[in-house]
Each structure stands twice: as C-alpha cells, then as structure tokens.
Amino acid sequence: MKNSSARRVSCPECGASVPLEHGSLVVRCRYCSLKSAIVGYSSSQRYYIPSVMDEKTVKSVCIKKMLNAGLLTPRTADRAVVDQADLFFVPYSWITAMKTGRLRKIRDDTETTVTKVFSEDYEAFRPACDIPYWGLKNVRLDEALNSMEKDGLMPYDRLEMSRLGHVLSMQKELEVPRGSGHVVIASATKKLIFYPIWLFRYRIDNSIYRGTLDGVTHKLLYGRAPQDSENKYLRAAALIGLVGLMLGQGLRLLFLAPAIGVVLLLMAVIIGVLVALTGLSLIRFNSELVYEDGISIYEEGGSDQKYLEDRIFKSLAGVFSDDEAARLKDSDGGKADGNGG
C-alpha cells in the first residue's frame, strides 16, 4: 500500500508530480487541471458494494439464518446470544471478458469434424485474500448484482468504507487467461470489488462461535455451532437400548429357538458396527456443526477455538493495516480465551 501510494508521474503539461492512486487510470493535475491517462501502470479499477444490512439487522437475522441452515436447533437457538457483528470489505478479483473463436469438434452421429464459431462471456470472481473459516468462496457476485435495484458498484472510497467497517487489503490477484489456437480472450477488464461481509459472534452457554453473512444477499456463508446435546442423549439412549434389547433377546432365544436367536444376535452386531462406522457422530459428545458450501456437517470432536482464532487473526494480519488489526482484537476483549468446543 505504501509503495503504490508513493508512485507518481509527471504532468505532461506543467511537469508537476501527480500521485497515482490504486485503480486510477485517469488523473487530473492539481496545478494545471490537465486530465491525463496513465499508461504502463496496470492497476485494477476498484469498486465497493455497500452492505444492505446494518449491525442491528445482522444481529437479529443471523440466528434465524443458522436455524434455517440446520446449524442450530430451536433449542440451541433459544440459548444463543449474538454479542458482536463487524462489517468487513473483502477484496475480490473480478475479470470480465469475451471469449470468442472457432472450435473444431467431432459430430457424434457422423464422426465428421465441424467448425463452430462461438462468442461467450468469460467471467471469474475470486477472493483476493486468504481468510480461513469465512466461506469467502461462497459469495456469488451475480446473485448480489441481481438482488440490487440499481447499479450497486460504487467507486472505491477508502474513507467512506473505513467509516462503515474494516477494509481488507488485496493479497493475490487473478490473471487474465490467454486464449489458445483459434480462441481469443478479447476485451478483458480486471476489477477489484470490495464486497461487504459481516462477521458475527455469538454465545451459547459459555462457548463462543462465529459465522459470516453476505452483506448483500443476507446469505449465511459460514457458521459453526454446537451439537444439540438433548437430542444426542436421546439418540444415544435409543441406540444403546435397541442394541441391548436385541442382544438380550438373541441370547434368550439362542436356547429356545436357536435360528431366531442367531439372527437377532447377528442383527445386533451389524447395527453396532454400523453405528460405530457411520452413526458415531450422532451420539458423539463435544462435536460441532460446521456450515459451508450450503451444507452443515459434523466436525469430529469439536474445534479448538483458540487455534481457529489464531488462524483467523494471523490471516487477518496480512490483509489489515496494523491499527485496524489491533482495533479488531481489542474489540474482542480477550473473551475468546474462555472458548470451548
């Protein structure tokens, strides 16, 4: 950031030094007012999308979203208390281009080669920074743009964005692919979109969990929640009771009607093995549910919350200015120390 903001060019009219801002390919000299285009400086144009939700809305909808996603049960949702929601502008690389050319392909019915001309959009939208456990890959720009009534892309405005939330920096950028043979990628443009993502934190009993919400479509991107222990006890009791009953009946019938007894014993063993192999997560203690890519899955043995915190803050350190990282960590107030799985 510091290097790029120090980059300057000379005004072709008066020779004054003109600073180059990120994404500015047209500049105006503040001394002679000459408008100039910058060549030899490849910088993605920058935009941001404002969030359609405020902190209060996020706090009120996130539990409902987790409930709908199957991450929380009505019982755990009742005990969940949301105590923090922060807005982050996460950079995404967005490439739009036209892919056009001639393709030779073999026609199935006659096995002859035919030439087809095609023109189609080429589009890629990927996070430009690595943050684990935020579900960043689940953001769909098209869904966001279609959900907005008017053009939702705003010109990059660092001051305004900082006023609204935390602004993350770009770590990596997508490259425009090259065409091959008779296929060309024409009129490619590369943009950097700062996308609004809400990171919320909630408590259930003494444990703290986190999740992320799409700031435009309200979609749950990532979430983590404890398994509902009440159901767990019921499931465990039911399974143990069933296996025990079958074992007892099997043993009793082994002497009265050996054929039925053997079958029952075998069934008890099979159910026991199946539970051990696949159904263990249903009765496991301290397991967590993790929501990502649109599905909720059990995570074995629960998570080491301290490890997750460290990984997130380590990755944030790469995309945050130092003062913002400190600000975020301070706002957490070390509450995460007491986390459990």
Partner 1 sequence: MAGDDNAHAVRTRAVALRCPQCGEELSGLNGDLLFGCRKCGMAYEVTETGRLRACPMSAAVLDAGTSQTIVWFPFWSFTASFSIEWPPVPGKRDSLAVLPRIDRVYVTAFNFRMRQYFGDPGLNLTRNQPDIASRTGPGLAGAAVKQKSARIIAENQILSTIDARRDITGADYEIALSDASILCLPFLYENHKLIDLVLDIAYTANAVVDLERILEKSGGRK
Tokens of 188: 């490619």
Position 38 contacts partner 1 (CB under 8 A):
yes
User: 70-86: buried (b, 16+ CB within 10 Å) or exposed (e) per residue?
Assistant: ebbbeebbeebebebbb
Q: Please give the span between the terminal C-alpha atoms of the chain, in angstroms, as a whole number.
A: 38
User: If binding means CB under 8 A, how many residues of this protein chain bind partner 1?
Assistant: 61
Asked if 26 touches partner 1 (CB under 8 A), the answer is yes
**One residue of 173, 205, 293, 310 binding partner 1 per CB under 8 A:** 173
Residue list 39-98, contact with partner 1 (CB under 8 A): 39-45, 96, 98
CB of 180 to partner 1, least distance (A): 14
110 counts as binding partner 1 under rule CB under 8 A: no
Does position 160 bind partner 1 by CB under 8 A?
no
205 is an interface residue for partner 1 by CB under 8 A: no
SS3 state of residue 277: helix
User: By three-state DSSP, how is residue 106 classified?
Assistant: strand
Contact window for partner 1 (CB under 8 A) among 119-127, 194-202, 241-249, 296-304: 119-127
Which window, 66-74, 113-121, 286-294, 333-341, contacts partner 1 (CB under 8 A)? 113-121
Among 77, 82, 164, 184, binds partner 1 (CB under 8 A): 184
Provide the β-strand partners of residue 290: 224, 297
- Which residues have a Cβ under 8 Å from the Cβ of 320 and sit 6 or more positions away? 166, 168, 169, 328
* Alpha-carbon distances, residue 148 vs 52, 135, 143, 198 (angstroms): 9, 22, 9, 18
**Residue with smaller CB distance to partner 1, 54 or 175:** 175
Task: Check residue 124 for interaction with partner 1 (CB under 8 A).
Answer: no
Give the nearest distance from C-beta 154 to partner 1 in angstroms. 9
Q: Dihedral of CA 69/75/77/80: which sign?
A: negative
Torsion of CA 282, 283, 286, 292, to 10 degrees: 0
Would you say 29 or 85 has its CB closer to partner 1?
A: 29
Contact predicate 312/209, CB 8 Å: no
Q: Is residue 12 a contact point for partner 1 (CB under 8 A)?
A: yes
**Sole binder of partner 1 in the list 5, 83, 137, 145 (CB under 8 A):** 145
- Does 36 help bind partner 1 (rule: CB under 8 A)? yes
Per CB under 8 A, which region of 57-65, 71-79, 143-151, 232-240 contacts partner 1?
A: 143-151
Q: Which of 110, 119, 206, 278 binds partner 1 (CB under 8 A)?
A: 119
Nearest-angstrom CA–CA distance, 150 and 145: 8
d(CA 99, CA 234): 57
121 binds partner 1, rule: CB under 8 A: yes
Q: Residue holding tokens 């929501």? A: 291
Closest CA to 152 of 44, 219, 52, 220: 52
Among residues 186 and 251, whose Cβ is nearest to partner 1?
186
Site for partner 1 contains 180 (CB under 8 A) = no
Which listed range, 8-16, 54-62, 74-82, 273-281, lies at the site for partner 1 (CB under 8 A)?
Answer: 8-16
By CB under 8 A, the residues from 265 to 304 that bind partner 1 are none
- Between CA 268 and CA 212 the distance in angstroms is 43
Nearer to partner 1, 189 or 331 (CB): 189
CB neighbours of 181 closer than 8 A, spacing ≥ 6?
Answer: 101
- Nearest CA to 21 among 11, 38, 32, 12? 38
Binding stretches for partner 1 (CB under 8 A) = 4, 7, 9-13, 18, 20, 22-27, 34-45, 96, 98, 100-102, 112-121, 123, 145-146, 149-151, 153, 155, 170, 173, 175-176, 184, 186-191
